[in-house]
Amino acid sequence: MLHLSSQHLQAIATHAERTYPEECCGLLLGRLERQRESIPDDTRTLVEVWATENAWTAEVSEAMKDITAQTIELGSTKMSRFWIDPSDLLRGQRYARDRQLDIIGIYHSHPDHPAVPSECDRSLAWPQYSYIIVSVQQGSAQDLRCWSLDDRHQFQPEELLTVTPSPRSL
């Protein structure tokens, strides 16, 4: 379960609309609540949405071919792929650490596609993270969903708990 506020949802939706028709991406900074016994293991609390550039390029596409052989079509662009540059990840990590936070997940958008992970998303995903996907239809953020991997490296829906109005109001 991921706890977050309507401001977080709004920040992600706004970023996704701004980069349309390209995918946006960014880090979810927050806390894992696993230290507290009364709370289930996988509860995460989002504290800050940290936007990054979509660094997907033809070179990244080429480099990824070995990892996800069958999943990346030739000529994939930022309209259907995202990539967070390792230096951005590092900056995000430092920023989070300075505030006693962790990277708890990653968000990205699906322009004119449902808020459902692609095979490429799945093959590049990390088990510890929450993955928020926002669907942007013709420039307007329509649907936002959260996913995390199960033991078989398959995405399962992850519950979002908002402290104020629900994601449906986006």
Residue with Cβ nearer Zn ion (118 or 137): 118
Q: How far is the CB of 110 from Zn ion (least distance, A)?
A: 6
Residue with Cβ nearer Zn ion (77 or 118): 118
**Phi first, then psi: what are they for 112, rounded to 5°?**
55, 30
Residue with Cβ nearer Zn ion (9 or 120): 120
Q: How far is the CB of 115 from Zn ion (least distance, A)?
A: 9
Residues of this chain that bind Zn ion (CB under 5 A): 118, 121
Q: Rounded distance, CA 109 to CA 19, Å?
A: 9
Q: Tokens 């992600």 belong to which residue?
A: 12
Residue with Cβ nearer Zn ion (50 or 131): 131
**Phi first, then psi: what are they for 29, rounded to 5°?**
-105, 135
Which residue sits closest to Zn ion, CB atoms considered? 121
Q: Rounded distance, CA 84 to CA 123, Å?
A: 15
Q: Which of 168, 169, 162 is nearest to 8 (CA)?
A: 162
Q: Tokens 């939706």 belong to which residue?
A: 13
Q: How far is the CB of 63 from Zn ion (least distance, A)?
A: 18
Q: How far is the CB of 82 from Zn ion (least distance, A)?
A: 7
